[in-house]
């Protein structure tokens, strides 16, 4: 009889423990789905490492938009040259790396509403007395990051002011090292990035700006409903001033009225370039 009572008590205890555990599991908040975002985490002000932590305007915009849409963000640090191929191959869900929204890209991928805008520049060393105009690029070596609108700008300059050699790079820092060392004579770059490098290093200057202004957004596979979820959260962030606050935090001044960080598009933006 004593043995039977002991078995009953054990069963009650086990069942009670199981019930408490099951209730705790039921009350526990379910795990949120994780979204992989591919970025080249070497872009000053936009997406960069501070120690081991990722910071930057674009990083905070897309991670907060995904947070509001109900997702956790996992950043994959990749070279820009492979960012679209990896997106199409399902290696990640979003490509967000200071990407200009162009007609060619719009045909192949879906993209978010713009949240930043920029243009491209070509820079030289400020002590290089051989180059004072675009005509002086003839016979020189111009660096550019592969697969970017800066590469297209370099090709445009070559057609107009060449011939000169275009040398492709996988990242911005290596370009600057080669420009510093004289292995290249100039390089094309996004304007905001160029300004930061010039301020930090003080040995470069802008030779010319491109005529084209580009809107910047995040890119998705064609037909992915995640784009619409992202846009809904992004527009909420624009409406409540979050995006404008992040812009001022990183760039040091409020975004201009009607610019991409504050404008809510009633219809989908379509690029003109």
Digit-coded pLDDT (tens) for 18-53: 444 445 444 555 689 999 999 999 998 999 999 999
The span from the CA of 198 to the CA of 180, in Å, is 12
CATH number of 34-118+215-251: 3.40.190.10
Structure tokens at 177: 């090292």
Answer whether 34-118+215-251 and 120-209 agree in fold: yes
What is the CATH number that goes with domain 120-209?
3.40.190.10
Cβ partners under 8 Å of residue 211, min gap 6: 119
Residue pair 156/142 in contact (Cβ under 8 Å)? The answer is: no
Going from N- to C-terminal start, the domains of the chain cover 34-118+215-251, 120-209
* CA quadruple 247, 153, 147, 94: dihedral sign: positive
pLDDT, one tens digit per residue, over 76-90 is 999 999 999 999 999
Bridge partners for 147 per DSSP: none
Q: Which residue has the higher pLDDT, 55 or 22?
A: 55
pLDDT grade for 192, boundaries at 50, 70 and 90: confident
């Amino acid at each position: 009889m004593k043995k039977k009572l002991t078995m009953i008590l054990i069963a009650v205890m086990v069942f009670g423990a199981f019930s408490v555990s099951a209730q705790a599991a039921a009350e526990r908040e379910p795990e949120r789905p994780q979204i992989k975002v591919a970025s080249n985490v070497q872009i000053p002000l936009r997406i960069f490492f501070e120690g081991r932590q990722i910071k930057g305007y674009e990083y905070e915009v897309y991670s907060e938009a995904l947070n509001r849409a109900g997702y956790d963000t996992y950043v994959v640090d990749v070279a820009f040259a492979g960012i679209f191929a990896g997106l199409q191959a399902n290696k990640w869900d979003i490509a967000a790396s200071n990407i200009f929204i162009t007609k060619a890209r719009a045909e192949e991928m879906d993209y978010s509403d713009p949240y930043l805008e920029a243009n491209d520049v070509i820079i030289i060393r400020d002590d290089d007395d051989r180059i004072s105009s675009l005509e002086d690029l003839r016979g020189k070596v111009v660096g550019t990051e592969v697969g970017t609108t800066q590469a297209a700008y370099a090709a445009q300059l070559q057609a107009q002011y060449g011939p000169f050699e275009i040398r492709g790079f996988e990242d911005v820092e290596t370009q600057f090292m080669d420009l510093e060392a004289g292995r290249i004579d100039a390089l094309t770059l996004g304007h905001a990035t160029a300004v930061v490098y010039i301020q930090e290093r003080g040995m470069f200057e802008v030779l010319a700006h491109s005529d084209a202004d580009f809107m910047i957004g995040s890119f998705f596979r064609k037909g992915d409903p995640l784009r619409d979820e992202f846009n809904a959260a992004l527009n909420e962030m624009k409406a409540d001033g979050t995006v404008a606050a992040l812009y001022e935090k990183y760039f040091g001044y409020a975004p201009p009225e009607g610019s991409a960080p504050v404008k809510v598009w009633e219809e989908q933006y379509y690029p003109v370039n």
